[in-house]
Amino acid sequence: MGDEAAPPIIIPTNYGRIDEFDDISEDWIQYTERLNHYFIANNIESMEKQRAILLSACGKKTYKLMRNLSAPQKPGEKTYDDIVKLVTDHQNPKSSSIVQRCKFNSRSRQPNESVSQFVAELRQISEYCDYKATLDDMLRDRLVCGIKEDRIQRRLLAEPGLTFKKAMEVATAMEMAAKNAHDLQVQEPKQVHKVTIRNEECYRCGGSHNATDCKWKDAKCYVCDKKGHLAKKCRNKGKQNAKEKPKFKQQTQQGKVYPKQRPTKTHFVEEDSDDMEDTYTMYQLEGKKRKPYLVSVKLNNTEINMEIDTGASVSVISQETCKQVFGSDNSLEKSACSLRTYTGEKIDVLGKRNVTVIYNSQSVDLPITVVKGTGPSLMGRDWLHKLQLNWKSIFKIDQLSHNQEPEKDKELQDLLRKYPQVFKEGLGTLKGTKARIYVDNDATPKYFKARPVPYALKEKIEKELDRLEKGGNIEKVEFSEWAAPIVPIVKPDKSVRICGDYKVTINQVSKLDNYPIPKTDDLYATLSGGQAFSKLDLSQAYQQIVLDEESRKYVTINTHKGLYQYNRLPFGVSSAPGIFQRTMENLLQGILRVVVRETTFLSLEVQRVNI
């Protein structure tokens, strides 16, 4: 017996490790989930032992919290489940499903956020939304509406019987295809046995070619007035003023004197190359300055006008325009191209960067060069090769602008300068008056839930709500006793007008303003004898009148983004036509031969005039 070997000592092995709970870096629910997995991995089934591990591993700060929550009992006197529930109720109180759903429905894909990351964020927000069996449908809808990329959105909307799983597959596949295509396009071939050849500089123009082959060998210098070179290579440049303008002689034909020809403003873009193909100039031959061909594009969601310049190889914006487009984001890459005037003076290039260009339904990422100063924005050949411009529309606008009479154009500009507040952008405000909606004090408030909106209109409705809120027409509120659902109306330009369905709320209990609206016969009688008429149709007419503070609660609307309260007289209120008619007639009373009908003014002239 003495020689019998002793049994081996078995040392238990623990799998994993439980750190102290830190509410800054980890959520309590996540901590308890890890703790339960630790118990399973190490076969810890005793509730007393689980409680002891929790109390000893949670840390001083958390243990103190458990003591405070358990008082007058001690944490060790409670069960493991009771302790976990106490801390859970304290650290993670149950959130309102309404608030969480509002966050869910307002969450959109952020710039540089992948589809997978966007969906992961949606799943996290939906944890307390209580969607239950409809979760996949809600995730599908939010993915389609919040993807913020037209190409993918159109593809998803065209998919019949779209499910969340299918939407994820399509969106991620299109995202990956776009990324792979971009990677293939930006790959540059490696240089093999590169040989650098240094060409002699041409003394006529400064290019890298033989002077005998220079296309400027017959050009006339503006400095010395001799042929054979450009001003920038003139040897007499230091002796004379190189910036002196060239003189042009008057030409006569059949006794008629033509005005002096002067060069127009020239945009000369020269890249680092061995030719001068990007140099060009233009001259006015009849003394009339032709307006440039302009095209309106969006850069970084900022609309600007660019001058079409087929002589420039790159597109250019000024430093001032760059600040308007990119704001505080002034990061620029170094540019290898140089900009020069026709006479050779160099323009300072600050750098270049890529920008998303939106023209009509086209969206293209293109490079833009930024220069010092405040000059015009130029659309060069690099953009013209990528964008399909509507040349018919551009030439039509240019033709209309050239056909305007100079006197009328000057008169118009004088009016615009004299009354800048009248013609400025944005919604006007009628001063000195406020509209009021009269409701009996014993009227019962009516609250209606938001109606579901078509997926195709959801983004347009959100943009219109943002526009109204930014302009001060509406403001967001957390609570209201009154709430009307909205009715989106699609306008001819495909934009959306939002109207409250007030026939189910305020229109049932408000006192109707019965101010008479003129009949058609009354208008004809007032305007009889006229030969020329002027018509003014106000934009967003009702909303140019401010509501008094007491009336604003009655016109609250309930949308899928929450509650909004109107600060101005909205469309859909039964008293709005009478209020507006009375206000306008009081404003225009005493002015002869002027009539008002709702949002339209008509005036006449007895004698025909040009208006």
Statement: residue 123 has pLDDT above 90? no
Which amino acid belongs to residue 54?
Answer: L
Q: What is the pLDDT confidence band of residue 444, given thresholds at 50, 70 and 90?
A: very high
Question: Domain extents for the chain?
Answer: 28-91, 97-172, 294-395, 455-605
Please tell me which residue, 532 or 243, carries the higher pLDDT value.
532
List, in sequence order, the alpha helices (H) in 277-330.
Answer: 319-326
* β-bridge partners, 477: 563
Q: What is the C-alpha separation between 372 and 316, in angstroms, rounded?
A: 10
Please tell me which residue, 537 or 169, carries the higher pLDDT value.
169
Superfamily of the domain at 294-395: Acid Proteases (2.40.70.10)
Among the four given CATH numbers 3.40.50.300, 3.40.50.720, 3.10.10.10, 3.40.50.450, the one describing domain 455-605: 3.10.10.10
For the stretch 539-557, pLDDT in tens is: 777 888 899 999 999 999 9
- At 606 the pLDDT is 40
Instruction: Evaluate whether 237 touches 231 at the Cβ level (below 8 Å).
Output: yes
Q: What is the pLDDT confidence band of residue 287, given thresholds at 50, 70 and 90?
A: very low
Q: What is the pLDDT confidence band of residue 66, given thresholds at 50, 70 and 90?
A: confident
Arithmetic mean of pLDDT, 20-36: 82
Q: What is the C-alpha separation between 196 and 194, in angstroms, rounded?
A: 7
> Does residue 72 have a cis peptide bond before it, meaning omega lies within 30 degrees of 0?
yes
Q: What is the pLDDT confidence band of residue 253, given thresholds at 50, 70 and 90?
A: very low
- 541 Cβ neighbours under 8 A, 6+ residues apart: 580, 598, 599
Tokens of 316: 């250019």
Please tell me which residue, 252 or 130, carries the higher pLDDT value.
130
Arithmetic mean of pLDDT, 66-70: 84
For the stretch 263-274, pLDDT in tens is: 444 454 444 443
Arithmetic mean of pLDDT, 382-394: 83
Statement: residue 9 has pLDDT above 60? no
Compute the half-sphere exposure of residue 186: CA atoms within 13 Å on the CB side of its CA: 8
Q: What is the C-alpha separation between 206 and 197, in angstroms, rounded?
A: 16
Which amino acid belongs to residue 611?
Answer: I
Flag the least confident range among 64-68, 148-152, 324-328, 528-532: 528-532
Tokens of 560: 């899928």
For residue 462, give the nearest of 130, 164, 102 by alpha carbon.
102
Flag the least confident range among 51-55, 169-173, 288-292, 440-444: 288-292
SS3 434: strand
Q: What is the pLDDT confidence band of residue 495, given thresholds at 50, 70 and 90?
A: confident
- At 475 the pLDDT is 94
Flag the least confident range among 86-90, 161-165, 342-346, 583-587: 342-346
Q: What is the C-alpha separation between 92 and 514, in angstroms, rounded?
A: 55
Arithmetic mean of pLDDT, 485-506: 89
For residue 245, give the nearest of 228, 229, 261 by alpha carbon.
261
- 436 Cβ neighbours under 8 A, 6+ residues apart: 547, 548, 550, 551
Statement: residue 536 has pLDDT above 50? yes
DSSP, res 192: -
Statement: residue 425 has pLDDT above 50? yes
Arithmetic mean of pLDDT, 508-519: 82
Q: What is the pLDDT confidence band of residue 601, given thresholds at 50, 70 and 90?
A: low
- At 199 the pLDDT is 55
- At 56 the pLDDT is 86
Please tell me which residue, 539 or 6, carries the higher pLDDT value.
539
Arithmetic mean of pLDDT, 492-520: 85
How high does pLDDT run on average in the chain? 78
Instruction: Evaluate whether 134 touches 126 at the Cβ level (below 8 Å).
Output: no
Statement: residue 405 has pLDDT above 70? no
Q: What is the pLDDT confidence band of residue 485, given thresholds at 50, 70 and 90?
A: very high
CA distances from 256 to 247, 250, 283 (A): 20, 10, 20
The radius of gyration of the chain's CA atoms, rounded to the nearest angstrom, is 37
Q: What is the C-alpha separation between 408 and 362, in angstroms, rounded?
A: 36
Intra-chain end-to-end CA distance of the chain, in Å: 127
DSSP, res 452: P
- At 374 the pLDDT is 77
Statement: residue 75 has pLDDT above 90? no
Q: Quote the pTM value.
A: 0.36
